[in-house]
Amino acid sequence: MINKKQIYKKAYSLLSKRDYSVSVMRKKLFDFACNDSCDDFCETIIEAIIDDLKEKNWLSDERVVSTYLNSKGNLYGEKRIWFELKKIGIDNQVIEKILQTFEFCDYKKGKILLGKKFKGPANSMKEKVKRRDYLMRRGFACSISNKLALRDN
């Protein structure tokens, strides 16, 4: 059976490589500690370790969101960013709090992305739809995608 010291060591090892959200860290520690039988004792130890790491500010959902926005914020629209953060287990309140401080200008961002991906104006309706779909896959709102891609040039 794995003891508390080994779980701490695993947590420190994981955090030395990159930041993790609380839910991802919890899952990784459970996978490490509870291979065959997961008992309540193991669960309480992991919760205590996670609380300790949060108290020491080594484990922070806010920092994970900020890091994600700095690295991917210019590539995706607000909806895609929201979805990706939910996928890694970030709480809705944390996402809302951080996204309010992050300046979103999806129109400008979409225009820049379209300029990088597609050269010149769209010649056919099929090409305009292709551009609109590209923006929508990137998480831009339908209204912004339509405005940027389907407008007459």
Average pLDDT over residues 133-150: 90
* In the chain, domain spans: 4-55, 61-101, 106-149
Average pLDDT over residues 99-124: 84
Give me the pLDDT at residue 34, please: 80
Could you tell me the pTM of the whole model?
0.75
DSSP readout, the chain? ---HHHHHHHHHHHHHH----HHHHHHHHHHHH-SS---HHHHHHHHHHHHHHHHTTSS-HHHHHHHHHHHHTTTS-HHHHHHHHHHTT--HHHHHHHHHHS---HHHHHHHHHHHHS-S---SHHHHHHHHHHHHHTT--HHHHHHHHSS--
Average pLDDT over residues 101-119: 84
Would you place residue 141 in the very low, low, confident or very high pLDDT band (cuts 50, 70, 90)? Answer: confident
pLDDT digits (tens, 9 = 90+) for 45-82: 899 999 999 999 999 998 998 888 888 888 888 888 89
Give me the pLDDT at residue 96, please: 85
> Interior CA angle at 77 toward 75 and 82, to 5°?
110
